[in-house]
Amino acid sequence: MATAAHTDPGFQDCRNAWVAALEQLAEADPRIVAVVNDSVGSSKLGSFQKKFPDRLINVGIAEQVMVGIGAGLANGGRIPFVSAASCFITGRALEQIKADIAYASFNVKLVGQSSGVAYGELGATHHSIEDFAWLRPLTNLTVIVPADAWETAEAVKWAAAHEGPVYLRLSRMPVPDLDIPNRSFRPGQAEVVRQGDDLAIIACGTTVHLAAAAATRLASRDIAARVLNFSTLNPLDEAALHAAAATGAIVTVEEASVRGGLGGAVAEFTSAHRPVPVERVGFPGFLPTGSTDWLFEEHGLSAEGIEAAALRALRRKG
């Protein structure tokens, strides 16, 4: 099984699921519009633009007004999907997200594209590994990090139907569909990818399939790891966290900074309710340039790296 590779031919670019879902929704609901910062191509919205030329609002390279316009469109009765590279929409327009969208509680869907280290070689300016920490305290903003193409489409559909602000964090790096029978998308609830009671591996986004692969490796050591797809970062599924802490050891895995993201959230929760060892797998801070795959491998975002973190957590379990 591939570890960190995003090049497996069976893997899918979730952006295709995003645009297919959005176009389908827009056919049915004229209120749906897209707002971009000249990011038609990177948001894969070329076909949307052809089908709905008036409903693709390109504000130019101007993220602050892009997000503000999203709030205004919602005031005027539209359902805007505001889409841009996640490093820019969350970093450049953070105060607009806070004040105009979350605090003002406008029905706007923010879509962060090419998140994490998808732009690996472009360097830390284009990495979006801080967005979880920036957005998680915005209590009114639902934050969803789909793990695969299926969940991406479901999250887009749910966001359109949900009345309230949402941040969807998408990736451009291909991932496999998770092997879970009879799935249904439940925002705010962690999805069990694999059962196990020796420890819990809590992952989100592009790292969930790696966590599943790590659990397979752990099974050969007779270690039963529970794997959770923690796709809703805000609000937290506290019941799932209680249950995860009950295993006695937790590993968190995210394509994000280990400061203030999923790992931070889990550590906050466990320290308050049930202190257990928490090993956080992710990025330590500004990263060197390098391919996405290299950055993943280098920072333990691989089946082997997550397995090693699990063994560390189990040693600390006591």
Partner 1 sequence: MLTNDKVPLIREKALWMRRTAFTMVHRAQLGHPGGDFSAMDILATLYFGVMNYDPKRPDWAGRDRFVMSKGHATGALYSALCAAGYFPEEWLPTYMQPKSLLNGHPNRNYLPGVETNTGPLGHGFPVATGIAIAGQLSGASYRTFVLTGDGEQQEGSNWEAAMVAGHRKLSHLTLIIDRNRLQQGAGTEETSGLDPLDEKYRAFGWEVFEVDGHDPAALLALLSAEPGGKPRCVIANTVKGKGVSFMEGVASWHHGVPNAAQYEQAMKELV
Binding site for partner 1 (CB under 8 A): 33, 54-55, 57, 59-60, 62, 64-65, 67-78, 80, 95-96, 99-100, 103-106
Q: What is the spatial distance between Cα 304 and Cα 297, in angstroms, rounded to a whole number?
A: 9
Q: Which is nearer to partner 1, 9 or 76 (CB)?
A: 76
- For residue 178, the surrounding DSSP H or E stretch is none
**CB of 7 vs partner 1, minimal distance in Å:** 38
3-state secondary structure of 68: helix
Contact 183, 149 (CB under 8 A): no
Q: Strands 142-144 and 232-234, how do they pair?
A: antiparallel
Q: Smallest distance, Å, CB 33 to partner 1?
A: 7
* Element holding 98 (H helix, E strand): none
Euclidean distance between CA atoms 194 and 215, whole angstroms? 8
Q: Which is nearer to partner 1, 105 or 189 (CB)?
A: 105
Neighbours of 315 (CB within 10 A): 11
Cβ proximity to partner 1: between 111 and 241 the closer is 111
| Residue 112 beta carbon to partner 1: minimum distance, rounded to whole angstroms | 19
CB of 155 to partner 1, least distance (A): 24
In whole angstroms, what is the distance from residue 101 CA to residue 138 CA? 10
What is the smallest separation between the CB atom of 61 and partner 1, expressed in angstroms? 9
State which residue, 102 or 173, has the beta carbon closest to partner 1: 102
